[in-house]
Amino acid sequence: MSFFRLDRPVQFLKGVGPVRAEALGRMGIVTARDLLYYVPRRYDDASTIEPIGQLEIGADVTAIGRVRSKGVIPTRKGLRIFQAVLQDDSGMITCAWPGQPWLERKLQEGDLLLVAGRVKFFHGRQLQPREFTVLARASDDAPTQMIEGHIFSTYPASEEVPQWVLRGLFEKNLGALLTEVPEEEYLSGAERGKLSLPDLAEALEALHRPSSMDAVETARRRLAFDELFFLQLVQAQVRYHETFEKPGLVFERTNELIRPLHEALPFKLTDAQARVLREIYADMGSSRRMNRLLQGDVGSGKTIIALFAMLLAAESGRQAVLMAPTELLAEQHARRLKELLEPLGLSVYILTGQLKTSQRNAVLGALRDGTALVTVGTHALIQESVDFKDLGLVVVDEQHRFGVKQRMALGERENPPDTLIMSATPIPRSLAMTLYGDLDLSLLDEMPDGRKPITTLLRYPSKRDEVHRFVDEEVEAGRQAYIVYPLVDESDKVDLRSATEEYERLSNEVWPHRRLGLIHGQRSSEEKDQVMRAFLAGDLDVLVATTVIEVGIDVPNASVMVIEHAERFGLSQLHQLRGRVGRGAAKSYCVLVAEPGEVAAERLKIFRDTSDGFAVAHADLRIRGQGDLFGAQQHGRDPILRFADLSRDEGLLMEAQGRARALVEIDPELNGEGVTRIRGLMDHRYAERLKLFSVG
Ligand code: ADP
Ligand code: MG
């Protein structure tokens, strides 16, 4: 049984019978609430609506009038034009719809029409509407409330449920529905005041009948806050469960290893690194479990952070592991850790599939008896039933392949370790907070000094020969290059063939004198590994790849990244690829080959001119929108975020997260009397939508 009156079927509203209820259902309007939260697709400000008598030839206008007369006029060329004369208090104008004689049956004399378009001169003034809407039918009670307001709301309509029907439904029901809204208000007047948000009823009224465009924005912010707050509330509960309820570890800092590493480092930590390290040490030093996501652009210095975190664990006599998504990356990490730790007298162990049985058994033994304090491996290191004596810290490199489930599995161990997840794919803070609201977030938003900028170039396909010559010159100078083709989807055979064919063509016709390698998603991991190793060793000059090249792979000698069909990649993906070069002493280049349409051209130019990964990610979010944010998790008609806009609502999101976390820390199960309504909304109103974010 439902908790709120607004959950009743839409069928019980005025003007809705069983047939219309079904039609509304097909538009996603099933309950009274669905109607109340049905978002207009556009608003027309009355100040932009002009009296018909004053419409000027040449102007682009929006006007409202009643249909006084209508008819279909044939032309000599056989085109049939529907015409209607619209009238308001100030005058009349002819509207014409060439080639749409069927409107004759749709529009009636007396209908109230909103039209938008350019006024032309044709036997007097004529308007050919770009867009029009029937605001009310002749048969409806004349001029309605909705039209007297200053702003006109236009809804997404369907053939079955046209605009005027929707407007009629709001006309008949909005007032009554709004009286039911206060029972769902969960913010007190004082809280709303602090957040500068209107009350819910006021917001919903303004959604449909705004007095100004500012009121629309204020309403949107309120409704956005609600979405963000309840999403954060579920995540805050997961966080509470993982962070506070699990037995935590308190790591004791002796500086026995940390100080020598500080002294041995050839550089000083950046301010961002120092800040992030303080955040991590505070988590590890407290009795609660660490569940932290560390975001930092390629090259921002995450490995050092991981290292210091592992040293704190080691100082307290507990074991720490660093997990990488591939063996190659694990080996790369192990090499770097060894360079820094072995001088301090600390051994670094590595566990991968490459080990011989005897070596493997030795490492397993060291993990079991606790001698292995610092170990590097792939995800298998902890997924397999490897025995640890006292596992204190798990650092995961790259969160993308390390999903929520794997994270949860870590927490389910008998003595769950502290967890630090590192991601080299910068995403805007708002997005990270939304997708990973159950984790605490640290940002490395500063690059170490002295990074050489990578030059990014845009080239049309017609200049491909030049690009190839350039690559050849770099190879001649002893460097290496990547050529990347898009692969929209692993099963996209056409793309796959084109890349393979291109590889053949490049090897045989363009660079017969060079050594080329090919990597794509359908080669076995041994094959990929072999090719990558050859490239790393300098045995290949050019690496042709269809899928994303191993994230994080470090080939300092590679100085050119050519990306074909660059317009088909997201900006963040392009940034990832660009990060594969610029790692050595040589000047590096990223060349985007694209036939850009206007939008793509704009996007790619932003990319060319932006080197900061977070700025790129933000531009990507702004340009692409958050539409496919939750991927498969988002079920069609009921998106998780309809009002919130993560490219602008970061402040609101911070408030929502702060409130949600504070509430849950005081009352984890939300049992208290003061939060009955919030609990009710969680269980009834948001349950379905938020299922994906909650655990078990
Ligand atoms: P990430 O893992 O974030 O891509 P790394 O940790 O691999 O970055 O660091 C990239 C390079 O920068 C490494 O060679 C590292 O030694 C160096 N580095 C890290 N921190 C600093 C710093 N504060 N100043 C100068 N160089 C740094
Ligand atoms: Mg702790």
Half-sphere exposure of 91 (CA within 13 A, CB side): 12
In a mutational test of the pocket of ligand 1, which residue from 261, 262, 267, 580 has the highest number of ligand atoms less than 8 Å from its CB? Answer: 267
CA of 292 to the centre of ligand 1 (A): 20
Dist. CA 424 → ligand 1 center (Å): 12
Q: How confident is the model at residue 567 (pLDDT cuts 50, 70, 90)?
A: confident
pLDDT at 472 over 60: yes
Q: 482 C-alpha to center of ligand 1: Å?
A: 22
Q: Is 270 in the pocket of ligand 1 (CB under 6 A)?
A: yes
Query: pLDDT digit string (tens) for 77-123?
Result: 888 999 999 999 899 999 999 888 989 998 999 998 989 889 998 88
Atom 24, ligand 1: residue with shortest CA distance? 448
Phi, psi at 589, each rounded to 5°: -135, 145
Phi and psi based region of residue 478 (left: phi greater than 0; alpha: psi -120 to 50; beta: remaining): left
Closest-lying ligand 1 atom to the alpha carbon of residue 552: 4
- Is the confidence at residue 400, as pLDDT, over 70? no
Q: Is the pLDDT of residue 408 over 80?
A: no
* Structure-block tokens of residue 622: 């702004």
Contact (CB, 8 A) for 562 and 591: yes
Of the pLDDT bands very low, low, confident and very high (cuts 50, 70, 90), residue 428 is confident
Q: At what angle do helices 525-536 and 327-341 cross, to 10 degrees?
A: 40
> What confidence score (pLDDT) does residue 636 get?
46
Q: Provide the pLDDT confidence category of residue 647 given band limits of 50, 70 and 90.
A: confident
The residue to which tokens 């407290």 are assigned:
286
| Residues in the 5 Å CB sphere of ion ligand 2 | 248-249
Work out the pLDDT band at 683, boundaries 50, 70, 90: confident
Q: Strand, coil or helix: what is 232?
A: helix
556 lines ligand 1 (CB under 6 A): no
CB neighbour list of residue 158: distance below 8 Å, 6 or more residues apart: 23, 26, 27
For the segment 558-564, the average pLDDT, to the nearest whole number, is: 95
- Across all residues in the chain, what is the average pLDDT? 87
Q: How close is the Cα of 535 to the center of ligand 1, in Å? A: 22
Residue closest by Cα to atom 26 of ligand 1? 448
pLDDT for 133: 82
In angstroms, what is the span from residue 476 Cα to ligand 1's centroid?
Answer: 29
Tell me the CA–centroid distance for residue 654 and ligand 2, in Å.
24
The pLDDT tens digits for 416-427 are 899 999 988 788
306 CB under 6 A from ligand 1?
no
CA of 299 relative to ligand 1 center, distance in Å: 5
pLDDT above 60 for 631? no
Phi, psi values for residue 490, rounded to 5°: -55, -30
DSSP 244: I
What pLDDT digit, counting tens, does each position of 260-314 carry?
999 999 999 999 999 999 999 999 999 999 999 999 988 899 999 999 999 999 9
Tokens of 39: 């978002």
Q: How confident is the model at residue 617 (pLDDT cuts 50, 70, 90)?
A: confident
Residues facing 414 on adjacent strands = none
Task: Report the range out of 71-75, 270-274, 501-505 with the highest average pLDDT.
Answer: 270-274
Ligand 1: which atom is nearest the Cα of residue 268? 23
Specify the residue for token string 């006309």: 171
In angstroms and rounded to an integer, the radius of gyration of the C-alpha atoms of the chain is 31
CB-CB contact of 273 with 307 (8 Å): no
Q: Which of 601, 288, 279 is nearest to 443 (CA)?
A: 279
Closest ligand (CA of 253): 2
The reported pLDDT for the residue numbered 326 is 83
* Ligand 1 neighbourhood includes 273 CB (under 6 angstroms): yes
The residues, ordered by sequence, that sit 6+ positions from 587 with a Cβ below 8 Å of its Cβ are: 452, 455, 559
Ligand 1 atom closest to Cα of residue 265: 16
Ligand 1 close to Cβ of residue 301 (< 6 A): yes
Is the pLDDT confidence value at 242 over 90? no
Nearest ligand to the C-alpha of residue 398?
Answer: 1
Beta bridge partners of 560: 481, 589
Q: Is the CB of 173 under 6 A from ligand 1?
A: no
Q: How far, in Å, is the centroid of ligand 1 from the Cα of 395?
A: 17
Name the residue of 304, 338, 395 to mutate for ligand 1: max ligand atoms within 8 A of Cβ: 304
Segment 35-59 mean pLDDT: 87
- Kindly report the protein residue whose alpha carbon is nearest to atom 2 of ligand 1: 302
Specify the residue for token string 């370790």. Answer: 417
Q: Dihedral through CA 436, CA 440, CA 444, CA 445, nearest 10?
A: 70
- CA dist., res. 663 & res. 110, Å (int): 56
- CA of 408 relative to ligand 1 center, distance in Å: 30
Residues 6+ apart with CB under 8 A from 80: 72, 73, 74, 99, 101
Q: What is the pLDDT of residues 155-207, one digit of tens each?
A: 998 889 988 899 889 989 999 999 999 999 999 999 999 999 999 999 999 99
Ligand that comes closest to the CA of residue 552: 1
pLDDT of residue 633: 42
Residue 250 Cα to ligand 2 middle (Å): 5
Percent of the chain surpassing pLDDT 90:
54
Residue whose CA is at the smallest distance from ligand 1 atom 19? 301
**Which atom of ligand 1 is closest in space to residue 300's alpha carbon?**
3
Q: Which atom of ligand 1 is nearest to the CA of 296?
A: 3
Show the CA angle centred on residue 348, arms to residues 343 and 351, nearest 5°.
160
Query: What gap in Å lies between CA 497 and CA 265, rounded to an integer?
Result: 48
The pLDDT tens digits of the residues spanning 435-465 come to: 888 899 999 989 888 778 899 999 998 899 9
Q: How far is the CA of 247 from the centre of ligand 2 (A)?
A: 9
Place of tokens 């080691």: 314
654 in Cβ contact with 430 (< 8 Å): no
- Do residues 240 and 664 make contact, with C-beta atoms less than 8 angstroms apart? yes
Q: How far is the CA of 427 from the centre of ligand 1 (A)?
A: 20
Q: Is the pLDDT of residue 568 over 60?
A: yes
Phi, psi for residue 280 in degrees, rounded to 5:
-70, -45
- How far is the C-alpha of 670 from the C-alpha of 676, rounded, in Å? 8
Among 41-50, 485-494, 547-556, 667-676, the range with the most confident prediction by mean pLDDT is 667-676
What mean pLDDT comes out for the span 527-538?
90
For residue 302 and ligand 1, the question of a CB distance below 6 A is answered with: yes
**Atom from ligand 1 closest to the CA of residue 306:** 6
184 backbone dihedrals φ, ψ, rounded to 5°:
-110, 5
| Distance, CA of 211 to CA of 205 (rounded, Å) | 10
Closest-CA residue to 135 (of 219, 46, 205): 46
- Say yes or no: CB of residue 555 within 6 Å of ligand 1: no
Q: What percent of the chain has pLDDT above 70?
A: 90
Ligand that comes closest to the CA of residue 281: 2
Does the beta carbon of 267 lie inside 6 Å of ligand 1?
Answer: yes
Reading phi first (left if > 0) and then psi (alpha if -120 to 50, else beta), residue 458 is in beta
Helix/strand/coil for 584: coil
Residue type for position 246: K
Ordered domains of the chain (ranges, CATH): 1-41+159-184 (1.10.150), 44-154 (2.40.50.140), 258-444 (3.40.50.300), 455-610 (3.40.50.300)
> Average pLDDT of 348-369?
91
Q: Which ligand is nearest to the CA of 333?
A: 1
Which ligand sits nearest to residue 295's alpha carbon? 1
